């Protein structure tokens, strides 16, 4: 398969390479007659512009990257959708990469996208990542942090107030008379996890008589939820928690499923359950799931807007950090009122 470039097209159409290039990028500058000849040559040869050369010449690409820790978590998938949509409107393409919760793969993608000279990146990560991003930013690739607030005010970010979210969840459980609350979450090294726990602790501290226990899970997936639920079920009813606050909905759903279907523990009577993120599937789960909600769709949109602003010659002033207020969506799993309408 002979490589076909602009040169071959030019030869076949009997014009110069420059004219072909003009035809591709500024068709108006080329006479109708040659336009026709060039178009025919392109089709005949099956010419496709070589992006590498294009980018090399231009020095930039028309794409942005979105690095997610776990695409199969609908929370990140929904964000991806907002990103995609908003970026398309701005004429940008989006490369999505899945780091699979692996720091190593995350680094690899960061490096790769920087080498690709993407216009900018949106990074959702569990790790404290800001330091690593700093050097990339300094070299000229703007980055918006997604899901965790930038520590430095210069670091743009889109996040939710997780301390507040954790507070709302625990407060709600306490108000319904729960006394032994378990916080099921991942490594406390993860900022989001630590913040949600902090919020929950604050709520506990305001109450009398309520204890908070922390149960660790490694990956915060459905499978992790199932596993920890079995551990909990093994304990005697008196020592078991009477409420669980799971650090995300995946965990909560895994817990719910195992508790109800496998362990025959009643939710919310025996154990009340609150999740986090309010993914779409929570509403349709065995027992509709109470959850802390942030506006996912807007998450992606806001992130892209922040990035585009950063890309502008003269970034608009104002805070670069968007923080959404979490809302508690009460459903059956926590023993609250049933069927609260969805936004």
Partner DNA sequence: CCCGCAGTTTGATACGTTTCAGTACCGGCA
Partner DNA sequence: TGCCGGTACTGAAACGTATCAAACTGCGGG
Choose one: 51-59, 119-127, 168-176, 180-188; the region binding its own copies (CB under 8 A): 51-59
In this structure, are residues 159 and 326 in contact, taking their beta carbons and an 8 Å threshold? no
Task: Establish how many alpha carbons lie within 13 A of residue 298's alpha carbon, considering only the half-sphere containing its beta carbon.
Answer: 11
Residue by residue, DSSP assigns 217-257 as -SS-SHHHHHHHHHHHHHS-TTTS-SEEEESSHHHHHHHHH
For residues 19 and 307, give the distance between their C-alpha atoms in angstroms, rounded to a whole number. Answer: 35
Q: Comparing C-alpha atoms, which of 145, 149, 185 is closest to residue 276?
A: 185
Closest CB to its own copies among residues 210, 302? 302
The rounded distance, in Å, linking the Cα atoms of 86 and 309 is 13
Q: Which does 108 bind (CB under 5 to 8 A by kind): its own copies, DNA, none?
A: its own copies
Is residue 24 involved in binding its own copies (CB under 8 A)?
Answer: no
- Which entry of DNA, its own copies, none binds 6, CB below 5 to 8 A by partner kind? DNA
Residues of this chain, 18-47, that bind DNA according to CB under 7 A: 18-22, 24-25, 28-31, 33-34, 47
Q: Closest by alpha carbon to 55, among 93, 87, 81, 17?
A: 93
118 is a contact residue toward DNA (CB under 7 A)? no
SS3 9: helix
Q: Does 119 bind its own copies (CB under 8 A)?
A: no
Residue from 11, 17, 136, 298 touching DNA (CB under 7 A): that is 17
Structure tokens at 21: 């290039």
- Interface residues with DNA (CB under 7 A) are 3, 5-7, 15-22, 24-25, 28-31, 33-34, 47, 49-50, 53-54, 56-59
- Interface residues with its own copies (CB under 8 A) are 1, 3, 46, 48-56, 59, 61, 71-72, 74, 77-78, 80-81, 84-85, 88, 93-98, 100, 105, 108-109, 111-112, 114-117, 135, 138-140, 222, 253-254, 256-257, 261-262, 280-281, 283-288, 339
């Amino acid at each position: 398969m002979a490589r076909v470039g602009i040169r071959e097209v030019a030869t076949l159409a009997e014009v110069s390479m420059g004219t072909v290039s003009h035809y591709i990028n500024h068709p108006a500058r080329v006479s109708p007659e040659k336009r026709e000849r060039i178009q025919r040559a392109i089709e005949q040869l099956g010419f496709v512009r070589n992006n590498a050369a294009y980018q090399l010449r231009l020095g930039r690409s028309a794409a942005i990257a979105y690095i997610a820790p776990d695409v199969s978590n609908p929370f990140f998938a929904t964000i991806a959708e907002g990103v995609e949509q908003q970026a398309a409107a701005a004429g940008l393409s989006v490369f999505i990469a899945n780091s699979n919760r692996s720091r190593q793969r995350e680094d690899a993608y960061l490096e790769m996208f920087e080498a690709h000279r993407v216009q900018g990146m949106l990074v959702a990560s569990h790790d404290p990542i800001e330091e690593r991003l700093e050097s990339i930013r300094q070299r000229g690739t703007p980055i918006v942090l997604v899901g965790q607030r930038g520590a430095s005010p210069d670091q743009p970010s889109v996040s939710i107030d997780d301390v507040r979210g954790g507070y709302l969840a625990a407060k709600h459980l306490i108000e319904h008379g729960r006394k032994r609350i378990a916080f099921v979450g991942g490594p406390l090294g993860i900022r989001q996890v630590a913040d949600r726990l902090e919020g929950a602790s604050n709520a506990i501290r305001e109450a009398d008589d309520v204890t908070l226990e922390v149960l660790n899970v490694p990956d915060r997936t459905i499978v992790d939820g199932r596993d920890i639920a079995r551990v909990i079920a093994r304990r005697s009813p008196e020592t078991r928690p009477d409420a669980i606050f799971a650090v995300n909905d995946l965990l909560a759903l895994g817990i719910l499923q195992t508790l109800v279907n496998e362990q025959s523990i009643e939710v919310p009577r025996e154990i009340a359950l609150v999740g986090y993120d309010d993914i779409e599937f929570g509403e349709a789960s065995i027992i509709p799931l109470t959850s802390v909600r942030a506006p996912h769709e807007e998450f992606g949109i806001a992130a892209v807007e922040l990035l585009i602003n950063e890309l502008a010659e003269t970034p608009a002033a104002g805070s670069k950090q968007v923080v959404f207020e979490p809302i508690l969506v009460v459903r059956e799993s926590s023993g609250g009122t049933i069927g609260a309408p969805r936004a």
